[in-house]
Amino acid sequence: MKGNFAKTLISGVALAVGVGLATVAIPAQAATLRMAWSQDATGLDPHKQTAFSSIRLLELIYEPLVRLDSNLQIAPGVAQSWQFSSDGKQLTFKLNARAKFQNGAPVTSADVKASFQRILDQATGAVARANFLSIASIDTPDANTVVFNLSQPDVPLLTAMTSLNAAVVPASEITAGTIGTKAIGSGPFKLDSWVPNSKEVLSANKDWAGGAIGVDGINISVLPDETAILASLRTGQIDFALLNDPLVATLVPKEPKLQLTRTPVLSYNVLQLNPSRKPMDQLAVRQAISCAIDRKDVMDTAALGEGKVTGPLTMPLYATDPSKLFCYTRDVAKAKKLMADAGFANGFSATVIAATGEPPTATAEAQVIQSQLAEIGIKLDIKVMELNVYVDTWLKGNFDMAVALNGGSADPYSMYNRYWTKTGNLQKVANYIDDTLDSLMQKGRAETDPAKRKEIFAQFEKHLAEVSPWIWLYTAYGYTAEQKNVEGFVPTPTGSLFGLSKVSIK
């Protein structure tokens, strides 16, 4: 990347998280990796998926133009190089000429253009659409060159393009209307079969442009009980497992044949309020809820203390010390006064929704919150839903409150613009916006000076905590457990399992 704009972009998104890259020796004779997880994918359309379980699967099959490495640096995906123009209003990619889809067709600039046109089409319902609204037009001067012409400089655009929700899909499949019914990407693995809530069978994509793959394939078993996954690891029936429950993960180091990988992640546990519903349309009520919640107690009780209390921004480069944010020290007396000032001295009743299994701590978080809010007169009914039902309900904004686990990003704008801007495509989920939030987001989007961006997003975070549409709780860890003969997996703070492309079994 060249030019002053590009240099400030890289300095603005670079984060050091202390996770090194591994050099993997590929064995002469590979094997099939036997894997397990507790929550299955809910769909196969990479542009529409919000559930972590879907994203974890599809990241093995599809590729974006660029990706984030283990240090949250921009790394090649389908594209092998990229460059902003000096004014920041044009972004050019050179595609890897060896990149092929799993149907044998080359990945071309026409596929990239069709993919982003699909994302930008409101009819698609793409969850990351708001990240790409600065794209005014797309040029394809040759099969391996894509030029994005922008309506304004857009610092976080490149980071947004690292998401699975920005995956490049075949133009032919878009035309055929088969995106979501088939999974044809350019990633390291092919999806050979999928029995929902039971198993997935993946085979290595021998034509993958990213290099040699250390295993012949991956057989994934869906075992909803993570204690059963641990039992299968103990008996050697499973080689590798994704764990979400800290109650189970913390037992792994006690097993002599197993190893645990524990990585701080950018995703965050949050209590989402619905400010479009009474009485949470009143600022004092939302602030009362914020003051009544002991975030550390929620984390300690539901997640065994496995994590840290967080404000809205979870990336180290931008995060504010939570103790400096509104009411992060629990103050029940202040909460009661705020409730009384709003006319609810005797409290009110509401329902909080939670998903089964994503995260496994959701129900426990809801129970702790229920107990804490009872102290200020709020009677909270907990409604636990299957994940696919929860996701549909959540996307419609059809809840009073929701216990959620939401994804993070290396850049604040690409993390939050879909919620907290006036053009955000998940405004129905957030149900709140004001001029200050929108203005700060737009300023942060265009500002190229890293120090000024940090100051802008510090103001954004402070204001968001004060208006309290959501109550941010804590960030946790990503866990994988593997047999000690499984080598080469590199975790990332995004929680991606893409590192399985370089795993080998010794």
Q: Is 32 helix (H, G, I), strand (E, B) or coil?
A: strand
Summarised one tens digit per residue, pLDDT across range 468-504 is 999 999 999 999 999 999 999 999 999 999 999 999 9
Which pLDDT does position 301 carry in this prediction? Answer: 97
Query: 275 pLDDT exceeds 70?
Result: yes
- What value does the mean pLDDT take over residues 454-476? 98
Which pLDDT does position 462 carry in this prediction? Answer: 98
Summarised one tens digit per residue, pLDDT across range 84-126 is 999 999 999 999 999 999 999 999 999 999 999 999 999 999 9
Summarised one tens digit per residue, pLDDT across range 298-348 is 999 999 999 999 999 999 999 999 999 999 999 999 999 999 999 999 999
Give the position of tokens 């704008």: 413
- What value does the mean pLDDT take over residues 174-192? 97
* Beta bridge pairs of residue 487: 504
H or E stretch including 336?
A: helix 332-341
Distance, in Å, from the CA atom of 402 to the CA atom of 366, rounded to the nearest integer, reads 9
Query: 391 pLDDT exceeds 70?
Result: yes
Give the position of tokens 């860890």: 477
Query: 465 pLDDT exceeds 90?
Result: yes
Confidence of residue 24 (pLDDT cuts 50, 70, 90): very low
Confidence of residue 30 (pLDDT cuts 50, 70, 90): low
Which pLDDT does position 5 carry in this prediction? Answer: 44
Query: 9 pLDDT exceeds 70?
Result: no
Q: Quick check: 457 and 313 in contact, CB under 8 A?
A: yes
The token pair that represents 110 in the structure block = 């026409």
β 268-273/378-385 pair status: unpaired
Compute φ and ψ for 377, nearest 5 degrees: 90, 5
Distance, in Å, from the CA atom of 471 to the CA atom of 271, rounded to the nearest integer, reads 5
Q: Quickly list H helices, 128-252.
A: 157-160, 171-176, 226-234, 246-249
Distance, in Å, from the CA atom of 293 to the CA atom of 322, rounded to the nearest integer, reads 14
- What value does the mean pLDDT take over residues 348-374? 95
* Beta bridge pairs of residue 82: 93
Amino acid occupying residue 234: R
Q: Is 337 helix (H, G, I), strand (E, B) or coil?
A: helix
Q: Quick check: 324 and 311 in contact, CB under 8 A?
A: no
Q: How far is CA 107 from CA 69, 177, 506, in A?
A: 22, 18, 33
Share of the chain above pLDDT 70, in %: 94
Q: How far is CA 220 from CA 223, 267, 398, in A?
A: 9, 24, 33
More confident residue, 23 or 443: 443
Q: Quick check: 110 and 103 in contact, CB under 8 A?
A: no
Summarised one tens digit per residue, pLDDT across range 234-250 is 999 999 999 999 999 99
Instruction: Please state which of the ranges 163-172, 353-362, 366-375 shows the lowest mean pLDDT.
Output: 353-362
Distance, in Å, from the CA atom of 375 to the CA atom of 378, rounded to the nearest integer, reads 7
Query: 26 pLDDT exceeds 70?
Result: no
Please compute, for residue 88, the number of CA atoms within 13 A of its CA located in the half-sphere on the CB side: 20
Q: Quick check: 83 and 92 in contact, CB under 8 A?
A: yes
Q: In the 3-class helix/strand/coil scheme, how is 240-278 assigned residue by residue?
A: EEEECCHHHHCCHHHCCCEEEEEEECCCEEEEEECCCCC
- What value does the mean pLDDT take over residues 44-51? 95
Distance, in Å, from the CA atom of 287 to the CA atom of 290, rounded to the nearest integer, reads 5
What's the pTM value of the predicted model, to 2 decimals? 0.86
Distance, in Å, from the CA atom of 367 to the CA atom of 354, rounded to the nearest integer, reads 10
Q: Quick check: 26 and 107 in contact, CB under 8 A?
A: no
Query: 22 pLDDT exceeds 60?
Result: no
Handedness of CA 220, 225, 230, 235 (dihedral sign): negative
The crossing angle, in degrees rounded to 10, of helices 283-292 and 450-467 is 100
Share of the chain above pLDDT 90, in %: 91
Which pLDDT does position 448 carry in this prediction? Answer: 86
User: For the chain, what is the mean pLDDT?
Assistant: 93
Distance, in Å, from the CA atom of 326 to the CA atom of 467, rounded to the nearest integer, reads 9
Q: Quick check: 107 and 194 in contact, CB under 8 A?
A: no
- What value does the mean pLDDT take over residues 271-281? 97
